Amino acid sequence: MVLLDTAAKAVYTLPPDKLAKAIHLYHARTLAHFGDTAWMILALWLLVRSGVGARIRDWAEKCSGRAWVQGLIVGPAWLLILSLLGLPVAVLMHRVNLEYGISVEGWGMWLGDIAKSLGLTLVFGTLMLGVLYALMRHSKRWWLWLWLLALPVEVLGVYAVPVFIDPLFDHFSPLAQADPALAGNLERVTERGGLSIPPSRMFVMDASQKFTAPNAYVTGFGASKRVVVWDTTIQHVPTDEILAVYGHEQGHYVLEHIQKGLEFSAAMMLVFFWIGYRAMGWMVRRYGDAWKIRAVGDWASLGLLLLVVTVLSFVAEPIGNAFSRWEEHAADVYGQEVIHGLVPDAQATTVRSFQRLGEMWLDDPSPNRFVVFWTYSHPPTASRLESAVHYDPWRNGESPKYLTK
């Protein structure tokens, strides 16, 4: 830990051994991220060009004349190809995370998680592709119908994930039972924020069987909205700093970030679905004969669709991340405000918590600006800590940004 004589002097720093690890980890992650995307695009492009899509379609057509039955073959086939293509980088990154002590999840459990994700992808992915291709076959404006359908599906997804999907991977228990003292302390933060998050919406996740570092997050929608604190947080972080971490999460809750995220992604989807529609139409017109794709709604186009989605997702990444970093910064400010008066020095506590979290997650103190712009969902730890150091409206007699009371 870096001892702070005055908070104003604080910067995020790591001792030499951790710094070396953090830099290596940062390089590995960056390489894995961009390398994986490049590899996916290259592999899908080669598969599309070689006419694999048409071969899978022909095979499906031999099995059944019905398009939706064909989808039960073509959909899983391509989803499986996509998962297999992503496996090498996933394996490498798990190895790196184990080596650096970020992860402690054994290979057996890790493979189990991968298998479960694959199962979910096959079931829900095949279903969604079936609907999409039916829309493509029946309407020229399929992208707009898809968008209209995607909105309720996304809301339903955000609602259902913490209730039905997350428990498949991790164990959750009510925080009030696991740590009544902490639940009581967190209640002080909710009261200070003038809101009532019932204790039934606070959960502890048994993360320590997989990870070593602390974390907390807000998830769900409507009746499933909840705050989750990893047990690693309770084990390694002093109570004052847990309040800071929790204050940040409460910021997401109070500032309605899940709702804003849904609105933002709806706007993004509208634009990107249209671009996808135009790109698909153009590619099929231009290369359809060469790749034996009869029309956009032909099951032979699925590989091409996945290629277009991969490219567009990569392009959309910095936009989504800029939005996310903006939300994260707002939650940081709120977090510091909400613990003001509850802990002896809200600023110093917030600064210490960033230092501790950064150290435990081995966050690089000076990541490249472009990498941050493209891939970081949170501002880098160094700038979060710096913002906390400079945010002190109370000292200057100004009113706080969010909590004016």
- Binding site residues, Zn ion, CB under 5 A: 328, 331
Kindly list the distances between the CA atom of residue 216 and the CA atoms of 202, 227, 270, 393, in Å, as whole numbers in the listed order.
11, 7, 31, 26
At 205, give phi and psi (nearest 5°): -105, 135
328 vs 363, which CB is nearer to Zn ion? 328
* Smallest gap from residue 326 Cβ to Zn ion (A): 11
Side-by-side strand order, sheet with 172-174: 172-174, 202-205, 226-230, 216-219
Are 279 and 301 in contact by the 8 Å Cβ rule? The answer is no
Tokens encoding 386: 């710096």
Tokens encoding 42: 């290259």
Q: Which of the 8 DSSP states describes residue 165? A: I
Kindly list the distances between the CA atom of residue 345 and the CA atoms of 101, 158, 188, 368, 388, in Å, as whole numbers in the listed order.
32, 36, 16, 32, 12
Cα–Cα dist 138/12, whole Å: 56
Cα–Cα dist 271/150, whole Å: 13
Cα–Cα dist 327/74, whole Å: 39
Which are the contacts of 342, defined by CB distance < 8 A and separation ≥ 6? 188, 189, 192, 243
* Smallest gap from residue 331 Cβ to Zn ion (A): 5
Buried b (16+ CB within 10 A) or exposed e, 211-227: bbbbbbebbbbeeebbb
Stated length of the chain = 405
Alpha helices in 339-376 (DSSP H): 346-361, 369-375
Are 82 and 306 in contact by the 8 Å Cβ rule? The answer is yes
* Smallest gap from residue 26 Cβ to Zn ion (A): 20
- The helix or strand, by DSSP H or E, that contains position 228, with its residue range, turns out to be strand 226-230
Cα–Cα dist 172/169, whole Å: 10
Q: How many CA atoms lie within 13 A of 335 on its CB side?
A: 31
* Smallest gap from residue 28 Cβ to Zn ion (A): 24
Are 169 and 115 in contact by the 8 Å Cβ rule? The answer is no
Q: Which of 346, 352, 314, 257 is nearest to 36 (CA)?
A: 314
